Amino acid sequence: MTLPNNPKDFVYNSIHKVTGKPVDSIQPNDLLTSLVTDSIQLFELILELENAFAIEPDYDELVKIQTVQQAVEFVEKIYVTQPTQ
């Protein structure tokens, strides 16, 4: 997947890729667990966020993310500190 230029687009597109939900239906306060159908999809979403970066982010930090907005903030932090693939 080609990374878009900003973390918000990346997160929203990742959610769309895994769940099929239209990007414009996703809200910042949505819980990630409410957007996926099951734990397998949640794991796929975690992998999408994890695999985008040159250095794997800490899994323990990734799984603390609960909402879409938290995912965006997490990716923003990583974008600042390391290059992406």
Partner 1 sequence: MYILKSSTINNLDKPQQHTAGQGLAKLACATLAQTKPSEVQLFYTTTGQPHAKVKDRTYSISIAHTKNLVAALAATYSKRIGLDVEYPRSFSNKILAAFLNQPEIKILRELFPKNKKLRETLAWSCKEAYLKAAGLGLRQHPLSLNIQIKNKTKSKITGKILDTKKGREAFIQAKFTSKQIIAISYYDTTK
Name the nearest CA neighbour of 78 among 57, 47, 48.
57
Instruction: Decide if 59 contacts 26 (C-beta within 8 A).
Output: no
Residue 37 sits in the site that holds partner 1 (CB under 8 A): yes
Residue among 8 and 50 whose Cβ is closer to partner 1: 50
Backbone angles phi, psi at 28, to 5 degrees: -60, -35
- First-to-last C-alpha distance (Å) of the chain: 10
HSE-CB at 1 with a 13 A cutoff on CA atoms is 20
Q: How many residues bind partner 1 (CB under 8 A)?
A: 14
Cβ-based nearer residue to partner 1, 46 or 72: 46
Q: Which stretch binds partner 1 (CB under 8 A): 9-17, 21-29, 34-42, 74-82?
A: 34-42
Which one of residues 23, 47, 55, 82 is an interface residue with partner 1 (CB under 8 A)?
47
Q: Given the rule CB under 8 A, which residues bind partner 1?
A: 34, 37-40, 42-44, 46-47, 51, 59-60, 63
